[in-house]
């Protein structure tokens, strides 16, 4: 749509008057001045990128968006996602490709969970649109008819290190967005009147998200810098900055401030705290249940405990058993298809401002694709829960591509991340409920094979508290397992007892935080001898976590059993044996450590 057509299409009462338009232009120039001053003071930043979007920001913040300036966390406020750090905004993404997916999560929450009037705006750079996760988000928003979502593409042709391949060919951006099912406008990003018009028109559109393709110029209003290469991320010298500021100030004609419109106050009051198990787990000791299935059942149960619990899955629901949640709470299940980066971004968006308790569910091996998104969630102190199933070689016949053998290392490196590794159905249910009320990123590692229930329904669990599941005064070695390996350890203990060799068995339950006190205390009772057994590569897993925990204890020795090398397809039991983490290998390790 041409700029003149856009302006003509706006109803007369919605058109800003000439004075308001001039104030918006002046506010844009003030934003330019602020960006120059801030980056000069800090000797770092992006004044040219800020300058290209100044009119867009002016129109959004002072004319279009509805919010309470004195109450930025108000649940009724419009939301804004930006790819650079500024106060007030819900999330400022440090790297590119993540903002639109997060905005999708916020828009989905607003439309389907809150059923509220607030809208979500996301500003993207043109170079960001080369990220595949952006197109995952475009497809998601169109599929779910997120008409409360507006994405603005700041097309200034310049990337970080040079000119982008399609430069200012905004018709290409337009065709791409339209092909993904978006209502799309092409505008001059410097024209505040046209920007006001298209944002008004976007508000009238139903059942489609809107993309605004804005042609802009990097360094707009800065002589010899505007549209020039090699100025990305560079604050300008003080003398040059002073001259440019004086030039911009000379173009400012008003001294007015525009107050934002108040939001429509129709977001529901919610409560996502005090999550507790409503009834004991319905399992008997000796039942055979895969922890992935127990997790699906626990999520369904959790959904009854709090109506703000949601589950997102990446087309794996029939294997992760998240379909059990969908069966009982279909309106709170989000199918994200095979787009793991966007799935995590959407979950982050859903959880912003504490609007939902979000669980992401997929094969743990696929989460490596979304590691950057998970890290950004930790940086922004987001509260989301991630369930990774099909961990380790115990996956069996599905083969190496489905076996997560690096996930513990990955999540252990995430700041303030809690890692649950339940070993049976009862502990899995507790892990799910504990994760729902734990701050930060939580990861629950589940397994494919069926394993025995070893805990009674009355057993209690806490974050950072391990369980000593077998012990006697005659124990010679402390053996630590989790998940499937705990059952191998218990089998080894039973066989060793027939030879009058007693071992102490610890179930870690949480890998992070690790119960170092329980490990050290029990190790000292067994001559300082520890064996760790894990269905994971040795790097970054349980063995290394335990070694770190006992590193200041001079008389404790740790022997590690882990999966070495590249795995292969086969029966679960055969692979556990082939890669040295079966009961047979544990027995050999115990005898070896006692002999040596």
pLDDT digits (tens, 9 = 90+) for 527-556: 999 999 999 999 999 999 999 999 999 999
Please, are residues 141 and 148 in contact by the beta-carbon 8 Å criterion?
A: no
Provide the sign of the torsion angle of the four alpha carbons 513, 516, 519, 521, taken in this order: negative
pLDDT digits (tens, 9 = 90+) for 1-27: 556 566 666 666 678 999 999 999 999
The whole-angstrom separation of Cα 548 and Cα 257 is 57
Q: Can you list the pairs that 233-239 forms with residues at least 24 positions away whose Cβ atoms lie under 8 Å? A: 233/44, 233/45, 233/46, 233/160, 234/47, 234/48, 235/36, 235/39, 235/40, 235/42, 235/43, 235/44, 235/45, 235/47, 236/36, 236/39, 236/40, 236/47, 238/40
pLDDT digits (tens, 9 = 90+) for 19-62: 999 999 999 999 988 988 888 887 777 777 787 889 999 999 99
Percent of the chain with pLDDT over 70: 91
The whole-angstrom separation of Cα 192 and Cα 455 is 65
Report residue 509 CA to chain centroid gap: 23
Query: Between the CA of residue 453 and those of 445, 473, 500, 533, what are the distances in Å?
Result: 17, 25, 26, 19
Edge-to-edge strands, sheet with 333-335: 333-335, 309-313, 357-363, 384-389, 442-445, 418-421, 509-512
Q: Is 344 helix (H, G, I), strand (E, B) or coil?
A: helix
pLDDT digits (tens, 9 = 90+) for 494-513: 999 999 999 999 999 999 99
Q: So what's the pLDDT on residue 89?
A: 56
Which residue is associated with the tokens 């505008």?
187
Residue 585 has pLDDT above 50, yes or no: yes
Q: So what's the pLDDT on residue 41?
A: 81
Residue 87 has pLDDT above 60, yes or no: no
Look at 232-236, 472-476, 574-578, 591-595 and tell me which has the smallest mean pLDDT: 232-236
Q: Which two tokens stand for residue 358?
A: 């979000």
Average pLDDT of the chain, as a whole number: 92
Q: So what's the pLDDT on residue 46?
A: 72
Q: So what's the pLDDT on residue 85?
A: 40
Better pLDDT: 407 or 125: 407
381 is catalytic: no
Which residue is associated with the tokens 């903002």?
99
Please, are residues 441 and 386 in contact by the beta-carbon 8 Å criterion?
A: yes
Residue 262 has pLDDT above 60, yes or no: yes
Q: So what's the pLDDT on residue 164?
A: 64
Given the residues 340, 406, 488, 534, select the one marked as catalytic: 340
Q: So what's the pLDDT on residue 10?
A: 67
Please, are residues 481 and 536 in contact by the beta-carbon 8 Å criterion?
A: no
């Amino acid at each position: 749509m041409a700029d003149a057509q856009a302006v003509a299409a706006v109803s007369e009462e919605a058109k800003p008057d000439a004075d308001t338009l001039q104030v918006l232009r002046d506010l844009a120039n003030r934003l330019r001045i602020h960006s120059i001053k801030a980056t000069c003071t800090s000797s770092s930043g992006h004044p040219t990128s800020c300058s290209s979007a100044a009119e867009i920001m002016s129109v959004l913040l002072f004319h279009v968006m509805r919010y309470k300036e004195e109450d930025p966390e108000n649940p009724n406020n419009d939301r804004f996602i930006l790819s650079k750090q500024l106060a007030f905004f819900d999330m400022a993404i440090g790297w590119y490709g993540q903002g639109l997916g997060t905005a999708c999560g916020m828009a989905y929450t607003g439309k389907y969970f809150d059923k509220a009037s607030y809208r979500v705006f996301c500003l993207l750079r043109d170079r960001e649109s080369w990220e595949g996760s952006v197109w995952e988000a475009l497809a998601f928003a169109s599929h779910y008819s997120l008409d409360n979502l507006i994405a603005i593409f700041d097309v200034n042709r310049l990337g970080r290190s040079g000119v982008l391949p399609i430069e200012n060919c905004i018709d290409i951006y337009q065709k791409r967005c339209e092909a993904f099912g978006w209502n799309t406008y092409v505008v001059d990003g410097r024209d505040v009147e046209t920007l006001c018009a298209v944002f008004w028109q976007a508000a009238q559109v139903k059942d489609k998200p809107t993309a605004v393709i804005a042609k802009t110029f990097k360094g707009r209003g800065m002589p010899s810098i505007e549209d020039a290469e090699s100025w990305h991320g560079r604050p300008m010298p003080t003398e040059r900055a002073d001259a440019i500021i004086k030039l911009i100030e000379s173009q400012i004609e008003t001294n007015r401030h525009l107050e934002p419109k108040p939001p429509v106050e129709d977001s529901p009051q919610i409560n996502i705290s005090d999550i507790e198990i409503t009834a004991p787990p319905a399992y008997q000791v000796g039942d055979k249940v895969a922890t992935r299935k127990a997790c699906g059942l626990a999520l369904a149960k959790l959904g009854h405990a709090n109506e703000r619990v949601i589950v997102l899955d990446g087309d794996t629901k029939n294997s992760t058993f998240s379909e059990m949640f969908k069966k009982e709470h279909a309106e709170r299940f989000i199918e994200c298809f095979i787009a793991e980066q966007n799935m995590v971004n959407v979950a982050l968006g859903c959880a912003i401002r504490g609007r939902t308790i979000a669980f992401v569910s997929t094969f743990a091996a696929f989460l490596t694709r979304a590691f950057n998104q998970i890290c950004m969630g930790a940086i922004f102190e987001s509260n989301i829960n991630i369930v990774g199933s099909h961990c380790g070689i115990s996956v069996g016949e599905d083969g190496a591509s489905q076996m997560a053998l690096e996930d513990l290392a990955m999540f252990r490196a995430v700041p303030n991340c809690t890692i649950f590794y339940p070993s049976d159905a009862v502990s899995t249910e507790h892990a799910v409920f504990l994760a729902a009320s734990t701050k930060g990123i939580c990861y629950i590692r589940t397994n494919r094979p069926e394993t025995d229930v070893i805990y009674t329904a009355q057993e209690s669990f806490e974050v950072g508290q391990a369980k000593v599941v077998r012990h006697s005064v005659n124990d010679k070695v402390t053996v630590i397992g989790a998940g499937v390996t705990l059952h191998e350890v218990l089998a080894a203990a039973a066989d060793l007892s027939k030879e009058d060799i007693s071992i102490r068995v610890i179930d870690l339950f949480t890998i992070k935080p690790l119960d170092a006190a329980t490990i050290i205390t029990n190790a000292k009772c067994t001559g300082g001898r520890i064996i760790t057994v894990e269905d994971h590569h040795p790097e970054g897993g349980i063995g290394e976590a335990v070694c770190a925990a006992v590193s200041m204890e001079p008389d404790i020795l740790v022997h590690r059993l882990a999966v070495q090398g590249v795995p292969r397809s086969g029966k679960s039991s055969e692979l556990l044996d082939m890669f040295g983490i079966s009961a047979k290998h544990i027995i050999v390790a115990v005898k070896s450590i006692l002999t040596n």
